[in-house]
Structure 1
Amino acid sequence: MHVTGTVPPSAPAPQEIPAAPAHPAGTTGAPGRHARRFGLPVATALVMGNIIGGGIFLLPASVAPYGTISLLAFGVLTVGAIALALVFGRLAERDPRTGGPYVYAREAFGDFAGFLAAWAYWITTWVSNAALAVAAVGYLDVLIPVNDHRWTACLAALVLQWLPALANFAGTRYVGAVQLVSTVLKFAPLLLVAVGGLFFFDPDNLGPFHAAGGSAIGAVSASAAILLFSYLGVESAAVSAGEVENPRRTVGRATVIGTTGAALVYLLGTLSVFGTVAHDRLVDSTAPFSDAVDAMFGGAWGGWAVALAALVSMTGCLNGWTLLSAQTPYAAAKDGLFPAAFARRRRGVPTVGVGVTVVLASLLTVYNYTSGTAKVFEVLVLVTTFTATVPYLLATAAQLFHLASGRRDRVDRARLVRDAVIASIAVGFSLWLVAGAGHVAVYQGVLFLFAGVPVYAVMAARRQRTKVPADGR
């Protein structure tokens, strides 16, 4: 288990570690009335809220064709996600600055690796925000008919993106408040099914253990490919470390608690739905949690209740991801690897980063609705599953680098072995994410990634020009 407050094996002796600045570069000494540092509850809510979006409401039906063997995939993935969470906690102890994977990759491997982590993560956030808003419209339509006309649905998706952006513009105080409230509100109905469903559990509803036939390992891998992306967001507290109180201690705790809590909700929720909805019905269900509520309590109000819960869940997820979308470019801009405008902050929030991100996401949303097809959009969404693994792999590689390069005479060898095993599991989890994205998404993702190389060239040249005197000497 993660032990906070201790020095990583690869770090210098305690007396040699420089004190972390009270505030990261670009912040003021006093947070102010609208900027407030996140404590453990809000940091944990940020992690859980960003991991659990709207996908959980469809997951049981998505994996039902494989049978209850898919629960084994949940277990394997949970181990990988918690290992990644522990790695981020260790790295945050070492360097508790805003930026997360970008900071870790740049410190270990230099500017170019740091830029790739920042660029890939930035792409992931704004494309995912557009996808999340479009998906949220489907749940909103259950409450208020908006899908009758394409432009009405498009307008609703834009509103769902801009409301969280406005909360971010108002300051970190309001971002934290929205995140905490939305996390509590969405967990109420989820826990109702996850825990309450156990009292209505009927083993006859489970269906076969291995429903798909063929190899059992193949079935676990196939269902895992669907579930893999449900854990994206474990890095949320690390990315916002500069806004967290006592980040060396809090980030690790929030990351592990948030990831473990999300995993329990996923696992219990899926198990409860499996046990309350007959397997043959669940396979074809488009609203498995609604069907579970209807089976538990009767009536037909489950669809409305779950739609409301999903809408709250996605709005809170958008709120958290909007903040994260600006944090990594902010950290890179402070180092001269992103345009300087991204380093501007107001009320604790990098407002230019938030603004650019929401504009790009809005343009992508409009394009999705005007194109008349979801195929292009679906490919872009899959691309984000690949781009998210780039900073994950670089961060875990940075941890391995620190472990391998540490002073052996100052290392607790038992802890070194433990951390090395955890980092290796996290690397395997990240590579599994790449495999689960599929070759088409990886191909498209590489193009998105390489599109940042010219940007890096320009920014690196500007940095070099500012360092070289006018006479060239």
Structure 2
Amino acid sequence: MHDTDGTQGRRFGLPTATALVMGNIIGGGIFLLPASVAPFGTVSLLAFAVLTVGAIALALVFGRLARRHPQTGGPYVYAREAFGDFAGFLSAWSYWTMTWVSNAALAVAGVGYFHVLAGSSASKTGDLVVALLMLWLPALANLAGTRWVGAVQMVSTVLKFIPLLFVAVVGIFFFDPSNLGSFADGGHSWGSGLSASAAILLYSYVGVESAAMSAGEVRDPERNVGRASVLGTIGAALVYLLGTLAVFGTVSHDKLVASTAPFSDAVDAMFGGHWGGTLIALAAVVSIVGALNGWTLMSAQAPYAAAQDGLFPAAFGRKRRGVPTVGVLAAAVLASLLTVINYTAGINGVFEILVLITTFSATVPYLLATAAQVRFLLEGRRDKVAPARFVRDMVLALGGFGFSFWLVAGAGYAAVYQGVLFLFAGIIVYVWMAARRPAGEAADAPVAATAEAAEAELVG
């Protein structure tokens, strides 16, 4: 598999790769999360801690996998290498679906924050224009090349990290334990409250794979992908946990349960007045634009890698300035169509159904990638590696698989049902691409090489 087309873009260093992971994990949802989990009580903070451990395990697995296969495409590359073309295609198709549908959802969510920031009233036409701008400005940054992608990601991550960290740190000095409410609330036992709040929080860490997905654009990917994945995940976890704790401790529980802007309420509770709403709205808009910048790049990476192997149309496999331009344009156009449908078609439930698809689609590449790591480890020469290291890596792989499986379970019946239907719809695309392959071309990835690769990693 080739990662370039002869046009070199500037590669991401460790700070930019970390910002890509952190920026993709932290989208707009952070600004509503404390209110979303408040009805379950402070047990939701325990759920966050448990999920953080699972997310870090998944990040470490992606780092291990990137050492073996440091190419653009991440989860797609690992699934295809371990299980063949069909599994690789399903990973790429599922991930691609998730990215452009969720981009549309992010843009629509950003419109509400924009109105708070601009002090404007809602109108269907105006909202559509703002949402489309939120989609296309990051797309233009991507089309300008990896240098611009990295610059936008660094700036947006810093700008959204500062106000969130400000609330988290300053909130310590205004923390009032009486605001916390009970450990388990809303008629839930602590066990059911833990599971229910975890189901809401599970998707907070989608994006942990971002550095692995763009490994071909990262300098020294064998080292930096793993570091960026872990550092970005830990950074996001600190913002999530400390920010949620600060909001819990500064806003009374009764008010928090009904809040539509919990971070704004926290700032107002600390300092009085109503300027907190403007500050947090600005952070939210910057956060969403930064997430859209990173996810627009992600939306092009999986089809790029698949196109290199003949599993997606060849146009997706061309780069300009280090960015797969056709993939970026296709994702922007598809997300724009969904956004137009959301504002103009008036068909109830269409957009909600598509968003459900993303919740399931995000998990398919995770499951396949972690299962691939388990296979690579089992096929490695264990007689040449210290047992403790094998056990460590296997525990991480199984932990990442368990975390991914929990994501599927937490998605709910509707998400799994709709997601599976959309996943199976991709089969016809796979059949079409397989039929167009030149006669005699290998149908499957060179799986036999995986044992040798596994041995190389385990020994090294």
Q: Counterpart in 2 of 1:4?
A: none
Q: 4+ residue stretches of structure 1 with deviation over 4 A? A: none
- Counterparts of 2:194 and 2:185, CA distance in 1: 11
Structure 1 pair 147/371, CA: closer, same or farther in 2 (3 Å)?
A: farther
Which of 346, 353, 365 matches 1:372? 346
Tell me if 1:76 matches 2:50. Answer: yes
Would you say the 8 A contact 2:40–2:188 is kept in 1?
A: no
Structure 1 pair 314/374, CA: closer, same or farther in 2 (3 Å)?
A: farther
- List alignment gaps of at least 5 residues for structure 2: 443-460
Tell me if 1:343 matches 2:343. Answer: no
Q: Counterpart in 2 of 1:26?
A: 4
Deviations 1:348-385 (A, max 9, x none): 10000000110000000000111336632122112111
Q: Counterpart in 1 of 2:336?
A: 362
Would you say the 8 A contact 1:133–1:158 is kept in 2?
A: yes
Q: Counterpart in 1 of 2:77?
A: 103
- Counterparts of 2:61 and 2:5, CA distance in 1: 26
Report the alpha carbon displacement of residue 172 of structure 1 after superposing the two structures with TM.
0.3
Report the alpha carbon displacement of residue 466 of structure 1 after superposing the two structures with TM.
6.9
- Counterparts of 1:446 and 1:342, CA distance in 2: 24
Deviations 1:211-236 (A, max 9, x none): 12233211100000010011000000
State the secondary structure of the residue aligned to 2:88.
helix
AA partner of residue 15 (structure 2)? P
State the secondary structure of the residue aligned to 2:53.
helix
Tell me if 1:383 matches 2:353. Answer: no
AA partner of residue 196 (structure 2)? A
Q: Counterpart in 2 of 1:425?
A: 399
Identity %: 72
AA partner of residue 5 (structure 2)? T
AA partner of residue 367 (structure 2)? L
- Counterparts of 2:27 and 2:42, CA distance in 1: 23
Superposition RMSD in Å: 1.3
Would you say the 8 A contact 2:360–2:419 is kept in 1?
A: yes
Deviations 1:195-248 (A, max 9, x none): 110111011111111112233211100000010011000000000000000000
- Counterparts of 1:464 and 1:68, CA distance in 2: 59
Tell me if 1:158 matches 2:132. Answer: yes
- Counterparts of 1:466 and 1:319, CA distance in 2: 40
Q: Counterpart in 1 of 2:168?
A: 194
Tell me if 1:56 matches 2:30. Answer: yes
State the secondary structure of the residue aligned to 1:285.
coil
Deviations 1:46-79 (A, max 9, x none): 0000000010000000000011011110011001
Deviations 1:293-329 (A, max 9, x none): 0011111101111001000000000000000100110
Would you say the 8 A contact 1:68–1:209 is kept in 2?
A: yes
Tell me if 1:392 matches 2:357. Answer: no
- Counterparts of 1:209 and 1:374, CA distance in 2: 38
Structure 1 pair 117/147, CA: closer, same or farther in 2 (3 Å)?
A: farther
Moved more, 407-416 or 159-168: 407-416
Would you say the 8 A contact 2:382–2:390 is kept in 1?
A: no
Would you say the 8 A contact 2:213–2:298 is kept in 1?
A: yes
State the secondary structure of the residue aligned to 2:341.
helix
Report the alpha carbon displacement of residue 144 of structure 1 after superposing the two structures with TM.
2.5
Alignment of 1:43-192 (within 5 A): 43-144=17-118, 148-192=122-166
Structure 1 pair 214/295, CA: closer, same or farther in 2 (3 Å)?
A: closer
- Counterparts of 1:466 and 1:336, CA distance in 2: 13
Q: Counterpart in 2 of 1:226?
A: 200
- Counterparts of 1:225 and 1:128, CA distance in 2: 18
Structure 1 pair 165/334, CA: closer, same or farther in 2 (3 Å)?
A: same
Report the alpha carbon displacement of residue 147 of structure 1 after superposing the two structures with TM.
5.1
- Counterparts of 2:38 and 2:147, CA distance in 1: 41
Deviations 1:260-299 (A, max 9, x none): 1101110000000000000000000000000000011111
- Counterparts of 1:191 and 1:396, CA distance in 2: 32
State the secondary structure of the residue aligned to 1:179.
helix
Equivalent residues, number: 442
Alignment of 1:237-256 (within 5 A): 237-256=211-230
Tell me if 1:308 matches 2:282. Answer: yes
Q: Counterpart in 1 of 2:190?
A: 216
Which of 409, 412, 437 matches 1:435? 409
- Counterparts of 1:272 and 1:376, CA distance in 2: 36
Moved more, 125-134 or 215-224: 215-224
* TM-score in terms of structure 2 length: 0.94
